[in-house]
Structure 1
Amino acid sequence: MDSTLPGDAPATATAAAAARRRRRLTNRIRDGLRDVGIQMALLNHQVGAHLDLRDADLECLDLISRYGPIGPTALARRAGLHPATLTGVLDRLERGGWVVRTPNPTDRRAILVQVIKEREAEVARLYAGLAGAMEDICAQIEDDDLSVIADFLLRTARASRAATDQLAGN
């Protein structure tokens, strides 16, 4: 026996249509994030090639720039690299004049790694095209919407870190 009231059919159809629309939008967002990830990986690869840096070296350079001065153990954890692999990365970055290792002022037995500031302009120059395009895109979006987008991206980055940590067994 049908338990719906005569006026319920349009409400049910509207709810189903809303659910389909939401699924389509969610899938578009997922697809968009995958596309962004791929395009950023390709851009980073090109930037690394111009700077004569391996992909892992460029990623570590970015992490050091964002979170440094940083200790090698913390950097290895953030980069998802084995400490021995990170040592090779840091050796290459130091030889290339990108970073410097200094004693940790709070623990003289430990070192900190930091980017040589004068070299950051070289990297920024290669990302200038994307930075300019992002400025143009953001200029066309209202502040409230930018706030929602920024929050979404931060939450997505956290979810990505959590998924990475889970796969790494952390």
Structure 2
Amino acid sequence: MSSESEVSEARRRRRLTTAVKGALRDLRVQLSLLNYRVGDQIDLKDVDLDCLDIITQHGSLSPSGLARVTGLHPATMTGILDRLERGGWVLRERASKDRRAVTVRALRERNAELFRHYAGMNVLMDEICGSYSDAELELIADFLHRTSAAGRDATNQFAAD
């Protein structure tokens, strides 16, 4: 039989885990709202910003490759890329040998404009990170990387269904 302290410890652990999950939900909502506001300023939808971020992080991708990474329908991806290209955020390039092959790359000269819109959040993040030790930041970074990987795995489960 479990002792009273073991039961109390299990409850405490569940409460802490629930608090972490709640904080992650709150973070998701706040970042989503921030992206909505930034997107409104630069005339892009939230999903457009997500795709632009993926292209910026991963380098040039084919439209079908980007659709696979995001799980979006190719026709939806066409609309997103049209908006990004029209706004001067990306460029579609055709391969010289196979003119049907298209890659999409982010136009880096627009990065400064995007960074300006996120400057307030970046300053606040620097302040928050400044209050933690290196060891704590390593732990937080590990937690966030593992949480991100779990999110990818959960997303991929939808694609497999």
**TM bracket (short chain):** over 0.9
**Distance in 1 between residues matched to 2:55 and 2:113, nearest whole Å:** 15
Q: Supply the AA of the counterpart residue of 1:30.
A: K
Query: Per-residue displacement from partner, 1:48-82 (whole Å, max 9, x unpaired)?
Result: 00001112211111111111211212211222210
Matched residue, 2:27: 36
Runs of 4+ that moved beyond 2 A: 103-109
Cα-Cα RMSD:
1.8
Matched residue, 2:150: 159
Matches within 5 A, 1:14-33: 14-33=5-24
The structural deviation recorded for 1:163 is: 0.8
**Percent identity (aligned):** 50
The structural deviation recorded for 1:168 is: 2.5
Point out the structure with max Rg over C-alpha.
1
The structural deviation recorded for 1:146 is: 1.0
**Distance in 1 between residues matched to 2:58 and 2:95, nearest whole Å:** 15
Q: Supply the AA of the counterpart residue of 1:83.
A: P
Q: TM-score, normalised by structure 1?
A: 0.87
What SS does the aligned partner of 2:93 have?
strand
Matches within 5 A, 1:114-133: 114-133=105-124
The structural deviation recorded for 1:100 is: 0.5
**Distance in 2 between residues matched to 1:160 and 1:146, nearest whole Å:** 21
The structural deviation recorded for 1:96 is: 1.2
**Distance in 2 between residues matched to 1:46 and 1:20, nearest whole Å:** 39
Change (3 A) 1:23 1:117: same
Matched residue, 2:87: 96
The structural deviation recorded for 1:91 is: 1.2
Change (3 A) 1:166 1:127: same
**Distance in 2 between residues matched to 1:99 and 1:105, nearest whole Å:** 19
Unmatched 5+ residue regions in structure 1?
A: none
The structural deviation recorded for 1:105 is: 7.4
Unmatched 5+ residue regions in structure 2?
A: none
